Copies of this chain bind each other. A is one copy, B any other.
Amino acid sequence: MAEKTLRILEEGQGALIQPFDLDAFRELNRAKPKALVDKRMSEAEAVRTFIREGDYVGIELYGTVRCPMSLTREIIRQGYKKLRSAAQGVYEADLLAAASVVKEMDWTYIGLEVYGVSHNLRRTVESGYVERVVEWSNAALAWRFKAAAMGVPFVATRSMLGTDTLKYSAAKVIECPFTGEPVCLIPALVLDVGVIHVNRADRFGNCQIDGITGFAHEMARASKRLIISAEEIVDTEEIRRNPDRTIIPYYLVDAVVHAPFGSHPGEMNGLYERDEEHIRGYFTESKDPEKVEAYLDKWIYGVKNHEEYLDLVGRERLESFRIKEA
């Protein structure tokens, strides 16, 4: 037949800062252990073993809600300075910026929600410490995880069209071969490392999340290496009792870290409320770089691990955030 073609209508000029190779991803997934092996380890070991300087890292959900804060603090504590990341964040993204951990970002939203803009993000970007910023919408970034999770090069969307957000992204607009109308293609984002906090997991990595799942389902399946922290480590029997509650199956997981109050100062659905005083305190202080340094020294560099962090917060104080069973 005569050669048929489609027009490429627009190409985002942003860089694909984490190029994907779906066949290489398949090889890695093939090599992951399929037997049930105990993957429990400390946050220090998990981070040291599975995150390398320069890696592309994603953190789910975000700063104040079901966020792997104990692992985020450990990443900062171990002194990474050139990570690349998918920046959909609040408190955790602000901390990574404050500690100059990230050099390149796929960006959708970084701010402090009700507390306004992130001063540390402004400093790290406006100062030029962050060398590349590529723009995306929230849905687009989640669809990038979804494409990787499907094992395909892209997902189609009708978002981002006609805007500078698209122009400064790495998306492409083509003529739809079925409708002839412009459609935006969002490229897959295969993360080097995904970091997700869950309500409960067994030692093999089968995970359950209560309440909304954010983008945990997609990110777990889009990651070459996956580090899980869990409020509670449960018997596999509990997983087997309700297999339809499993959102992340064991074979995706590389490390399981037991982290009670792992989302502090954020909240954890059904377990504890957020520590508003701590959050407000930090956010209001974060205008002042010196106060930020002091905060990092006290809460991250000044403690060896999550256990010491929890001692510093104070066990009684933590208990006060617990949600009483209705």
Contact = CB atoms under 8 A, between A and B. Distances in A.
Contact of A6 (B8, B22, B147): B8
Contact of A185 (B177, B181, B188, B210): B177
22 contacts: A5-B8, A6-B6, A8-B177, A16-B178, A20-B178, A22-B158, A150-B157, A152-B155, A153-B178, A153-B181, A154-B156, A154-B178, A155-B155, A156-B156, A172-B178, A174-B177, A177-B185, A178-B185, A178-B188, A209-B244, A210-B244, A212-B244
Contacts of A151: 158
Q: How many copies does the complex hold?
A: 2
Interface string A175-207: 011110101010110000000000000000000
Interface of A: 3-8, 11, 16, 20, 22, 147, 150-158, 172, 174, 176-179, 181, 183, 185, 187-188, 209-213, 243-244
A8 B2 CA distance: 10
A188 B212 CA distance: 27
A50 to B, nearest CB: 27
A6 B178 contact: no
Nearest to A184: B152
Contacts of A212: 244
A210 B187 CA distance: 34
Nearest to A152: B156
Contact of A3 (B7, B150, B188): B7
Contacts of A185: 177-178
B155 A156 contact: yes
A306 to B, nearest CB: 27
Contacts of A209: 244
Nearest to A185: B177
A276 B154 CA distance: 44
Contacts of A6: 5-8, 174
A172 B177 contact: yes
A16 B243 CA distance: 37
Contacts of A178: 16, 20, 153-154, 172, 185, 187-188
B158 A156 contact: no
A139 to B, nearest CB: 10
A163 to B, nearest CB: 18
Contacts of A174: 6, 177
Nearest to A3: B7
Contacts of A177: 8, 154, 172, 174, 185
A4 B10 CA distance: 9
A156 to B, nearest CB: 4
